[in-house]
Amino acid sequence: MNSSTHHFKQSQFVVSDPFWGRYMELVRTKVIPYQWEALNDRIPGAEPSYAMYNFRAAAGLEKGPHKGPVFQDSDWGKWIEAVGYVLAWQADPELEKIADEAIDIVCASQQPDGYLNTYYILTGLDKRWTNLMDHHELYCLGHILEGAIAYYEATGKDKLLKAMIRYVDLVDKNFGPDPDKRHGYPGHEVIEMALVRLHDITRDERHLSLAKYFIEERGKQPLYFKEECEKYGNKFYWADDPNGFHYYQAALPVREQRDARGHAVRAVYLYAGMADVARKTQDPTLLAACKELWQSVTERQMYITGSIGASPHGEAFSFDYDLPNDTIYGETCAAIGLVFFARRMLENVIDSQYADVMERALYNGVISGMSLDGQSFFYVNPLEVLPEASRKDTSKFHVKTERQKWFGCACCPPNLARLLASLGSYAYTTGDDGALFMHIYLGGRFTHSVNNRTINIKVDTRYPWDGEVTITLSPESPVAFVYALRIPGWCASYTLTVNNKVVSEKPDRGYIKLSREWKAGDTISVNFDMPVRVNMANPKVREDLGKVALSRGPVVYCMEEADNGPNLHLVSLGENRDFQIEYKPDVLNGVAVITGEGQALNDEWPEHTLYQEASPMIYASRRITWVPYYAWANRGPGEMLVWIRR
Amino acid sequence: MNSSTHHFKQSQFVVSDPFWGRYMELVRTKVIPYQWEALNDRIPGAEPSYAMYNFRAAAGLEKGPHKGPVFQDSDWGKWIEAVGYVLAWQADPELEKIADEAIDIVCASQQPDGYLNTYYILTGLDKRWTNLMDHHELYCLGHILEGAIAYYEATGKDKLLKAMIRYVDLVDKNFGPDPDKRHGYPGHEVIEMALVRLHDITRDERHLSLAKYFIEERGKQPLYFKEECEKYGNKFYWADDPNGFHYYQAALPVREQRDARGHAVRAVYLYAGMADVARKTQDPTLLAACKELWQSVTERQMYITGSIGASPHGEAFSFDYDLPNDTIYGETCAAIGLVFFARRMLENVIDSQYADVMERALYNGVISGMSLDGQSFFYVNPLEVLPEASRKDTSKFHVKTERQKWFGCACCPPNLARLLASLGSYAYTTGDDGALFMHIYLGGRFTHSVNNRTINIKVDTRYPWDGEVTITLSPESPVAFVYALRIPGWCASYTLTVNNKVVSEKPDRGYIKLSREWKAGDTISVNFDMPVRVNMANPKVREDLGKVALSRGPVVYCMEEADNGPNLHLVSLGENRDFQIEYKPDVLNGVAVITGEGQALNDEWPEHTLYQEASPMIYASRRITWVPYYAWANRGPGEMLVWIRR
């Protein structure tokens, strides 16, 4: 464990990756402008957000009551965070002007004591902090704080940051271990991560202590949420649910939580915050709890796409190895939260298992949440879809066959925007003596510094369609440090050269550590073999037994009706393992398409018969086409299947 | 089609069947006395029924408001019906006295104009017939009417029957095509069947016309339920459901209903009533509609157990070939309703497909609803159970792993009681010239008459454990008629003799018609070969693809954890088709147990890994034990599986 490891800021990275660059440009040119319209209730036909209206009303700039859900402030927080990241790599005076004006409005709503939450400002400040469990008060603070930090880091403008620090200080005065303070914590976590990030800037120990307090207090007896319900007459909605207070990860103190339970987004946000605090405070028992929860999530409750949260009821984890493909919730935000958690584990422990999961989620269950044109979004990310079932089977109503416009409860779209806009900060973490650990093979230009010497790094790659990555180092002057490369868990063979000389170092916990005195023009070249991989799941996963899923590199593939016709359930892979891989620039914005000989069950069957004596299953050869899972449902509604019969 | 075909009354049959006799005795000695206690709120710890209380209150014999759900009167109706059937084959003066006293109370609650529904008597008669859609008013009438008829037929006592005829006549005055009458029909069907049965006794055309009216008016535009909602401010609970008014089978006129939709019990009750009216009125288009709906149910929406209603949401049909085994609703009452529908189809058309389904439901999805001791009941009849999922997965909370005591909404237990107590009436229907069609191989003594000559028939069998059935005919004097035997759909070979001479007649629509002059002592002996049958489902049934289910004779089998240990999903059948069948008198009250060599997947798997490159699936030989499906969950909770991997 090394407390000095840390990720980098988006501002240190200019992404020019053919794959991710397109997503980042989409966020900049489509998602952020669209969301600004949405936050201002200017999308025709869409349910209004009321987010900017609420701030104006709270600031006294407009008359009217609070409108919309209690958590709408957070949408603006995610928006300004994404704006900050974008401005870090692309100057945009017009966008910055809009953001500054929005910040003026938000700050104008701040109360004299620092409080800033439109719901309670507009419904009665006397009731603030009376429903931490369900009213997302500290959640909204967390998101706006993250936004304030991102905007400050990108622009140097600290108006919003200062306002939020005042708000944090007010919270700190009211929450904590002192007997006269409230012993509460948020019903929806996120503020923990935000406070740790704030501490990076302020170095004010109160900010770290507050994050630590929210984590340590959680789940302690007597239970704060229970007492809060009794004291303020709040309703506990999960009384009849087997999860109960686990819904909020609040049934037990965090170190006693062995299984990831409850609302999946909240869970991974908490775990990410725990990992942050564990690193900052060098707390081995808290880190051990993170590891155990990591295992619960990734070794027993994660889909092959990196999606998590199997149950639509409570958008929650269900139980070990329960991974239904067709009734899954698998919220986009939960996969995003898993990326947050993964990077924070890497900041504690260099071990490629964390980066493998981060990569798995990024290339699959995260970006499946957005259409290729950046205009529509999935909350739910199924691995098996039958449109008729989505229309007629109530237990699959949440499984949409087409991405939705950004309406109503809009958590996932802005969350995607802030993650994608900051993707540079997930590529590397640092270790001792300027060591650089490369986790995600993202093309672009990156600046690092060792012993006050700036090192420019250029990464060229066509990843994930091609396994070749070329890294050119340009230090001001020769400098010794370790450049470490992750060998992905999916990769069975690779070649690695430095300045065209083959390197024989073996990986340590998944990383090849190249310790050199690096000089300008040194080139690291790695080529990961990317054959099609046929995957199986642990046989405890009932839903996947006797089935396989294809992947290539980090990308999980699926069959779609658009390529393979309907009745995908009749198709099976058979014995063939000879696949053709072709990059098709015109298909789905450019993807490597996999084709191969599979088989299809002969489904001839006597009329008027539902059951009969079993006869052999007769198969005919069938050409199968697979496309990347993340790109499914971009060609109209239809069947889709990740796990196909062997 | 032959309007004279009809089933027989329970009173014509004294069942002495080793299999069904035990069930009928359970009903007589356990279920009926227990239900009487339940109807009187005397079961400690149980939610009160309030059924008898409501009648006493409505009769002015006790003070107090209506209590419990609106449909509690129907529970008493089902109870008195079961009592009637029992008294038809077993005199029981004590039970008859209880019943007479109960009838006195019920009749005392009847209003001067004939009205008899405790909910509206106690909450305001001015509101009667203002919520036919949801308030089960005509449903309660239907059930009490069926009870009145059964009690009259068994005892000759007509007090209740006369009271109910008065009530029917009041309804007839208020409902019908005349402009000044209400153009409504029941939200929950059953009265249609009851009125046809009443017409058998009264031969009063108004009774048949009223049944016909309720069927013909259903689903016509403008929609009565819609108008009723508007007129009386009733809430329509299915507005956001894709089924809408299909929930009540009321979205379309019955002849335009092509697919079985909505609440499964209501649906099959309607179809059964339609079949009754089609026969009575010789209506070919109504019969054609019945046939089409029959196909929709049994060829596309029926489980191998005869259970129907795949979706817990609305306890409803979902869509063609959607037959999930683990989230099924499959209500016991729906399988019972399918038996009602099947017999009524047989009364229209002699075709063994109807009897095959009737038998399938009876030996499987009907009696799976009751524990072997008659003390506890399933509403939901799953084909695949994982206890952990039932505890932790909200979408499977309705799937219980243990039968429940008879509490609260108690539709299934008394429905089972009335069906099992009248099982004799499902064994035969008659055709022209006294022809006798034997559908269900039920042991016992039966009386028939041809040309006013009584024929005593004795049936001896150990069915379903043994395929041998011996039928001894004893006419007063020799008489010519057709005795027809159904060759079950599951049966590939059999031997048939009359007086020990092999008979060569071939089946016609599934029946071998033995046309003889029968004389005393003539013996028909049939022996159906009953090997273990390995079944497969139509490949359109996604949930069963690549799986098989075992059956023997009419009995579907399952694997239980009690015999096979946990992780049943790892077990598959493999190539072996050599099964051992042993009747075990001490197991599950005496069942034929099937054992055979199958295989179990080697589930060795590397630690900390959820997915890996696919390796061959390694199986080890494993002895498998199957027990009859209906008897599952009689040895404590555990896993259960009907469809196992090939």
The predicted-structure confidence for B605-646, as pLDDT tens digits, reads as follows 999 999 999 999 999 999 999 999 999 999 999 999 999 999
Residue B131's pLDDT band (boundaries 50, 70, 90)? very high
Instruction: Please compute the mean of the pLDDT values over residues A604-622 and round it to a whole number.
Output: 96
The pLDDT value recorded for residue A57 is 98
Q: Does residue B8 have a pLDDT over 60?
A: yes
Instruction: Please compute the mean of the pLDDT values over residues A603-632 and round it to a whole number.
Output: 96
Using CB atoms, pick whichever of A298, A322, A546 lies closest to residue B393. Answer: A322
The pLDDT value recorded for residue B409 is 58
Which of A536, A577, A611, A640 best tests the B interface by mutation, with the highest count of B CBs <10 A? A611
How confident is the model over A525-535, as pLDDT tens digits? Answer: 999 999 999 99
Q: Does residue B6 have a pLDDT over 80?
A: no
Residue in the structure block whose two tokens are 């929005």: A102
Pairwise CB contact (< 8 Å): A615 & B304: no
Which letter does DSSP use for residue B365 in this model? I
Using CB atoms, pick whichever of A300, A302, A388 lies closest to residue B319. Answer: A388
Q: Above pLDDT 90, what percent of chain B? A: 92
How confident is the model over A339-356, as pLDDT tens digits? Answer: 999 999 999 999 999 999
Instruction: Please compute the mean of the pLDDT values over residues A29-50 and round it to a whole number.
Output: 91
Order of all β-strands in the sheet with B468-475: B13-15, B444-450, B453-461, B468-475, B522-528, B494-498, B501-502
Catalytic residue among A189, A192, A216, A315: A315
- DSSP, collapsed to helix, strand or coil, labels residue B58 as helix
Closest Cα in chain B, distance from residue A28 (Å): 35
Instruction: Please compute the mean of the pLDDT values over residues B238-261 and round it to a whole number.
Output: 95
- The fourth-level CATH superfamily of domain B428-528 is Golgi alpha-mannosidase II (2.60.40.1180)
Using CB atoms, pick whichever of B319, B549, B601 lies closest to residue A392. Answer: B319
Q: Does residue A601 have a pLDDT over 50?
A: yes
Nearest to A270 by CA among A167, A203, A341, A209: A341
How confident is the model over B459-472, as pLDDT tens digits? Answer: 999 999 999 999 99
CB A261 within 8 A of CB A316: yes
Closest Cα in chain A, distance from residue B134 (Å): 21
* B313 contact residues in A (CB cutoff 8 A): 394-395
Pairwise CB contact (< 8 Å): A533 & B609: no
Least trusted range by pLDDT, from A215-229, A336-350, A393-407, B423-437: A393-407
- DSSP, collapsed to helix, strand or coil, labels residue A496 as strand
Q: Does residue A639 have a pLDDT over 90?
A: yes
Q: Does residue B4 have a pLDDT over 60?
A: no
Using CB atoms, pick whichever of A312, A318, A545 lies closest to residue B569. Answer: A545
Instruction: Please compute the mean of the pLDDT values over residues A154-162 and round it to a whole number.
Output: 97
Q: Phi/psi of residue A628, each to 5°? A: -60, 135
* Burial zone of B527 (CB within 10 Å; 0-12 exposed, 13-18 middle, 19+ buried): middle
User: What is the location of CATH 2.60.40.1180 in chain B?
Assistant: 428-528
Instruction: Please compute the mean of the pLDDT values over residues B353-375 and round it to a whole number.
Output: 97
Residue A407's pLDDT band (boundaries 50, 70, 90)? low
Backbone CA torsion sign across A108, A112, A116, A120: negative
Q: Does residue B5 have a pLDDT over 50?
A: no
User: Which two structure tokens, joined as six digits, stand for B512?
Assistant: 């071998």
Nearest to B240 by CA among B312, B313, B308: B313
Q: Does residue A476 have a pLDDT over 50?
A: yes
How confident is the model over B284-343, as pLDDT tens digits? Answer: 999 999 999 999 999 999 999 999 999 999 999 999 999 999 999 999 999 999 999 999
Order of all β-strands in the sheet with A494-498: A13-15, A444-450, A453-461, A468-475, A522-528, A494-498, A501-502
* B322 contact residues in A (CB cutoff 8 A): 388-389, 392-393
* A394 contact residues in B (CB cutoff 8 A): 241, 311, 313-314
Return mean pLDDT, chain B: 95
Which of A547, A555, A610 best tests the B interface by mutation, with the highest count of B CBs <10 A? A610
CB A479 within 8 A of CB A497: no
Nearest to A365 by CA among A351, A354, A380, A350: A380
Residue A5's pLDDT band (boundaries 50, 70, 90)? very low
Using CB atoms, pick whichever of A302, A322, A548 lies closest to residue B389. Answer: A322
Q: Above pLDDT 70, what percent of chain A? A: 98
Q: Does residue B417 have a pLDDT over 80?
A: yes
The pLDDT value recorded for residue B15 is 86
* B327 contact residues in A (CB cutoff 8 A): 395
Which of B320, B351, B394, B568 best tests the A interface by mutation, with the highest count of A CBs <10 A? B394
CB A370 within 8 A of CB A403: yes
Pairwise CB contact (< 8 Å): B537 & A610: yes
Using CB atoms, pick whichever of A535, A611, A646 lies closest to residue B613. Answer: A535
Q: Does residue A15 have a pLDDT over 90?
A: no
* A391 contact residues in B (CB cutoff 8 A): 242
Q: Does residue A134 have a pLDDT over 80?
A: yes
Q: Above pLDDT 90, what percent of chain A? A: 92
Closest Cα in chain B, distance from residue A125 (Å): 37
Instruction: Please compute the mean of the pLDDT values over residues A386-392 and round it to a whole number.
Output: 96
Residue B240's pLDDT band (boundaries 50, 70, 90)? confident
The pLDDT value recorded for residue A242 is 87
The pLDDT value recorded for residue A68 is 94
Which of B317, B352, B392, B570 best tests the A interface by mutation, with the highest count of A CBs <10 A? B392
The pLDDT value recorded for residue B2 is 36
Using CB atoms, pick whichever of B388, B610, B613 lies closest to residue A538. Answer: B610
Residue in the structure block whose two tokens are 């009436």: B425
B580 pairs with which residues across the strands? B595
Residue A3's pLDDT band (boundaries 50, 70, 90)? very low
* A314 contact residues in B (CB cutoff 8 A): 394
Q: Does residue A9 have a pLDDT over 70?
A: yes
Closest Cα in chain A, distance from residue B310 (Å): 9
The pLDDT value recorded for residue A373 is 93
How confident is the model over A280-314, as pLDDT tens digits? Answer: 999 999 999 999 999 999 999 999 999 999 999 99
Closest Cα in chain A, distance from residue B42 (Å): 28
**Whole-angstrom Cα distance, residue A627 to residue A617?**
27
Pairwise CB contact (< 8 Å): A542 & B386: yes
Pairwise CB contact (< 8 Å): B535 & A327: no
Instruction: Please compute the mean of the pLDDT values over residues A197-211 and round it to a whole number.
Output: 97
The pLDDT value recorded for residue B1 is 30
Q: Does residue B86 have a pLDDT over 50?
A: yes
Pairwise CB contact (< 8 Å): B536 & A241: no
Between B369 and A7, name the one with better pLDDT: B369
Q: Count the neighbouring beta carbons within 10 Å of the beta carbon of residue A209.
A: 18
Instruction: Please compute the mean of the pLDDT values over residues A518-525 and round it to a whole number.
Output: 97
Instruction: Please compute the mean of the pLDDT values over residues A260-273 and round it to a whole number.
Output: 98
**Whole-angstrom Cα distance, residue B298 to residue B334?**
12
Residue A171's pLDDT band (boundaries 50, 70, 90)? very high
The pLDDT value recorded for residue A425 is 92
* Integer-rounded Cα radius of gyration of chain A: 25
Pairwise CB contact (< 8 Å): B327 & A395: yes
- Searching chain A, which residue's CA lies closest to the CA of residue B311? A393
Pairwise CB contact (< 8 Å): A393 & B611: no
* B537 contact residues in A (CB cutoff 8 A): 610-611
**Whole-angstrom Cα distance, residue A360 to residue A353?**
10
Q: Is B250 left (phi over 0), alpha (psi -120 to 50) or beta?
A: alpha
Instruction: Please compute the mean of the pLDDT values over residues A166-174 and round it to a whole number.
Output: 98
Residue in the structure block whose two tokens are 């999805």: B365
Integer CA distances (angstroms), A471 to B111, B306, B630, in order: 93, 65, 67
Closest Cα in chain B, distance from residue A50 (Å): 26
The pLDDT value recorded for residue B14 is 85
* A569 contact residues in B (CB cutoff 8 A): 542, 545
Integer CA distances (angstroms), B61 to A193, A525, B53, B106, B108, in order: 69, 94, 9, 11, 9
Nearest to A343 by CA among A497, A193, A526: A193
Pairwise CB contact (< 8 Å): A393 & B319: yes
